[in-house]
Amino acid sequence: MRCYRHEQAPSAEAPLVIGFDIDDTITAHPAFFAVVSQALRGAGHRVVIITMRVDAGQAAADLAAFGVVYDELHCFDLDQRGDYWGWKGRLCASLGVEDFFDDSPDILARMPATTLPFLAVHRPRHDLSLLSEADEEEIEGVIGAGLGRS
């Protein structure tokens, strides 16, 4: 199992750079992303919005209506359509985005190793049972050990 660990504690000299998709991510729970984006920016971190939308004016208006704040907004450039699935990953690499939240496994699968992908899960579109790592025997062993029944 891959374990991710940020290499250093965030600080004023090394603020976090966190990225968010808009549709089916921010729009899935705008109030949550409003609070998170405001808290991140309030603590000196950077918030980057990366969306497949092409209308930057409408995207900015929607984010303002949601209360989502950010440092940068990047909308899809149709000239990049030859690399539709890889565009966000390349942008995350160039911007130094450490954590990126999106609803598309196809986009998150193309994130660079320097970006931790977070998937906004929508049922039944995403079937989490396909990702299950549950090992019932291992779980029973851990519980048993905790109860002194090793």
C-alpha–C-alpha distance, residues 65 and 15, integer Å: 26
Query: Is there a contact between 22 and 102 (Cβ–Cβ < 8 Å)?
Result: no
Total residues in contact with Mg ion, by rule CB under 5 A: 4
Among 6, 14, 24, 143, binds Mg ion (CB under 5 A): 24
The size of the chain, in residues, is 150
Least distance to Mg ion, CB of residue 18, Å: 16
Residue with tokens 């196809």: 106
C-alpha–C-alpha distance, residues 39 and 37, integer Å: 5
Q: Per DSSP, what are the bridge partners of residue 119?
A: 102
Q: Per DSSP, what are the bridge partners of residue 17?
A: 46
141's CB contacts (< 8 A; 6+ apart) are 150
78 to 117, contacts with Mg ion by CB under 5 A? Answer: 103
Among 10, 23, 30, 116, binds Mg ion (CB under 5 A): 23
The residue (of 24 and 138) whose beta carbon lies closer to Mg ion is 24
From 2-10, 20-28, 29-37, 92-100, span contacting Mg ion (CB under 5 A) = 20-28
From 9-17, 22-30, 68-76, 111-119, span contacting Mg ion (CB under 5 A) = 22-30
Least distance to Mg ion, CB of residue 102, Å: 6
Least distance to Mg ion, CB of residue 53, Å: 9
The residue (of 43 and 65) whose beta carbon lies closer to Mg ion is 65
Residue with tokens 């250093």: 8
Query: Which residues of the shown chain bind Mg ion in the complex (CB under 5 A)?
Result: 21, 23-24, 103
